Chains A and B, each alone.
Chain A
Amino acid sequence: MAPKPITSPVPDSWYPTLSVSMLAIGLVITASFFIYEATSSKRNRSLAKELTTGALASFFLGFGSLFLLLASGIYV
């Protein structure tokens, strides 16, 4: 059978768009995390909410920074 060429799982041309959008979403969620930390008092804080917000923010920031590295030519 003829060998099939392998490409990246995400098309190359999407890298800049994906990086900007994912970083934007990640930063928005980071902002909400810090706002929650700043405005809540000791009694009202909920650890579950903090952890989920942090996890979600780090997911988007992680992917956003990966695509940022790929879009700027550092093919990691």
Chain B
Amino acid sequence: MGFWWRFNLLVFTIAILSTPVLSDLILSKVDRRIDLTSQIVRITSTLKVENAGSGLVSEVLLAFPELQAKNLVYLMATTNEGKGKTKSSGVSLPVEVANPKGMPPALTVYSVSLPKALGEGDTMSLDVLAVFTHTLKPFPEKITQADIQLVLFQDSAYYLSPYAVKFQSLSIKLPDARIESYTKIENTKIHGSEIKYGPYENLPPFSYSPLVVHFEINQPFAVAQELVREIEVSHWGNVQVTEHCNIVHEGAKSEGEFSRLEYQARPHIRGSSAIRHFVAKLPPRAHSIYYRDEIGNISTSHLWADSKKTELLIEPRYPMFGGWRTAFIIGYSLPLQDFLFESEGKRFLNISFASPINDLVIDNLVVKVVLPEGSRDLSVSTPFPVKQRQESKISHLDVVGRPVIVLEKADVVPEHNQYFQIHYSFNKLSMLREPFMLISGFFFLFVACIVYVHVDLSISKSSASYLAKLQWDEVRATIQQVESIINQCLATHEKIEASLRDLSRIGDVQACKTTRKTADGLLKEHSKELKPLLAFLQSSPAAANILPKVEELVAKERELQERWMAKHSIIVDCYEKKLGGREIENRVAPQQQKVVALRQEVEDLLEYIDEI
């Protein structure tokens, strides 16, 4: 209570002692609306500015008492064109801190630059939105579970301005709950949960009248002391957002004990000001959403998705009363094409800055944007000033690390949840670096296998077993060659069989004969190749047990060859003599049987040799 006495005294002094004459602007009409329905105080003022002097005026000054300005986190001025229904959303005007001379102390002054200078007698209309945090003071400061939460709001009933105000009115919107007390001065009316002060006419500059409202508010007072928002961009089609939140209930502190039974039986009487849940508005097409904390997954959450947004309702593990805190992590994935764009050869990421959780005041917001490895020439553009620095993060399949841009801002409210851009350039071929790493990893394994098989790791090069192994290897190689030659011979036999079939279909004897000639040539070559191999096998001692089988195989194959040739000659002969089909069959029959039997034996032997 002592606080606001001192404050009022100070400002009264200012009002009485100072009468500087600034530029000749007059505010002909001021409409102020103070919205006290949540922990964030929003004051919207519609000013009608009139140039009563002779010079051109290109800026309008807005003044706030210093103690109030300490909690000012967002100030926006827009032009207000048109009246009533034809009002268009005006152009936002640049606002800066100004230090004009002759201002009384303990005032923070902001200067709004007008788009075109105001001439003599001209008027224009401005909309100013000022957002304050930590302005509603809980009073009493400590309450029990059953008490209602009452807060105190202080401001001035007269609009504090460096200009004279001809006509002003003020309306305060309170939540639909109990109003304990409010300052009653002239022209004060109360309608339900709205208090109207005014209209007041012809007030001098820097006029101030203290105003205190003491009322009940049950809206959640959720304040995130630190919120770290990590946005990881992957060019393979995904933007992963992870938010680490540490939230405190900054309303009236809870004293006494917490009775879960009372809370669940009558939640609106025992625990009316507790924070029960948070609602987050995520972009549409968000998927793979998780909600967990250090203990593990928290399952008390609900999700509704439609084409414009994805709404996530999360309940902390316990209802939060005054002074209680909770910490959790929310993560979600967004499709890349909604947020990453290309223009003029550079890529840029267009994504919202603050947290998607509704009605959250963030004391310190850290946004980390992780770009893929190989991104260069990073530049950031934000709609409001932020602190910036760059780091590096090593993540999946990284060699040097990914560039991380860290943006920090203090005192963030949902009005700051605007889009910001990060521009960078990226060579498309750098995307191949990741599969290339995996490919080279696998290739290294294969090369290791090859080296292992080729390298001779035996310790003693003259031991009996080593020499025996060497000899067996050679025998095996020779046998494989023998096998391949035999297979080629068999293939030649098949060719002869095919030519015989062709003969029976077409009757072209000449073609048959030429095939026979080529087959003969091939078979002669094969037998020539077989000779040295057989000689080697005969000389090598290690092949002793397999040699008889191999020789048997070669002999059988030769016999098969002879039978085939005989059959072929008979059939060709018969065709030349133009004998009938049955004659041919009779003559061929004995050969045919032998051929089939021999072929079967050759194949069996090949299999047997293979298995050794």
Contact = CB atoms under 8 A, between A and B. Distances in A.
Interface of A: 1, 3-10, 12, 33-34, 37, 41-45, 47, 50-51, 54-55, 57-59, 61-63, 65-66, 69-70, 73-76
Given A8-B237, A37-B453, A43-B477, A76 B434 contact: yes
B400 to A, nearest CB: 15
A76 B450 contact: no
B604 interface: no
A1 B346 CA distance: 13
Contacts of A75: 234, 236-238, 240, 333
Nearest to B347: A6
- Which of B236, B237, B288, B450: most chain A Cβ within 10 A? B236
Contacts of B477: 41-44
B337 interface: yes
B341 interface: yes
A5 B336 CA distance: 8
A8 B233 CA distance: 12
Nearest to B233: A75
A5 B396 CA distance: 25
Contact of A33 (B439, B446, B473): B446
Contacts of B84: none
B343 interface: yes
A70 B453 CA distance: 35
A46 to B, nearest CB: 11
B333 to A, nearest CB: 8
B399 interface: no
Contacts of B438: 61-63, 65-66
Contact of B473 (A8, A42, A57, A74): A42
Nearest to B481: A44
A54 B236 CA distance: 27
B235 interface: yes
Given A8-B235, A76-B396, A61 B480 contact: no
A66 B434 contact: yes
B566 interface: no
Interface of B: 234-238, 240, 288, 333, 335-338, 340-343, 347-348, 395-397, 428, 431, 434-436, 438-443, 445-447, 449-450, 453-454, 473-474, 476-477, 480
Nearest to A41: B477
A12 B237 CA distance: 7
Given A9-B431, A47-B450, A58 B236 contact: no
Contacts of B237: 7-8, 12, 70, 75
B361 to A, nearest CB: 32
A59 B395 CA distance: 23
Given A50-B450, A54-B446, A5 B473 contact: no
Contact of A74 (B336, B337, B396, B436): B396
19 contacts: A1-B343, A6-B340, A6-B347, A8-B236, A12-B237, A37-B453, A41-B480, A42-B477, A51-B450, A54-B443, A57-B442, A58-B439, A61-B438, A61-B439, A61-B442, A74-B396, A75-B236, A75-B237, A76-B396
A55 to B, nearest CB: 6
B441 A41 contact: no
Given A12-B237, A76-B396, 4 more contacts: A41-B473, A54-B447, A61-B438, A66-B438
9 closest cross-chain pairs (CB), A and B: A62-B439, A54-B446, A3-B341, A58-B442, A8-B237, A75-B234, A58-B443, A62-B438, A5-B337
A42 B326 CA distance: 69
Contact of A76 (B236, B338, B348, B440): B236
Contacts of B442: 57-58, 61-62, 65
Contact of A66 (B288, B435, B445): B435
Contacts of B335: 12
A8 B239 CA distance: 12
Given A3-B348, A7-B336, A42-B473, A70 B436 contact: no
A33 B450 CA distance: 10
Contacts of B396: 69, 74, 76
A44 B337 CA distance: 54
A4 B436 contact: no
A7 B340 CA distance: 8
A60 to B, nearest CB: 9
Contacts of B347: 6
B436 A62 contact: yes
B480 A70 contact: no
A76 B442 CA distance: 18
Contacts of A42: 473, 477
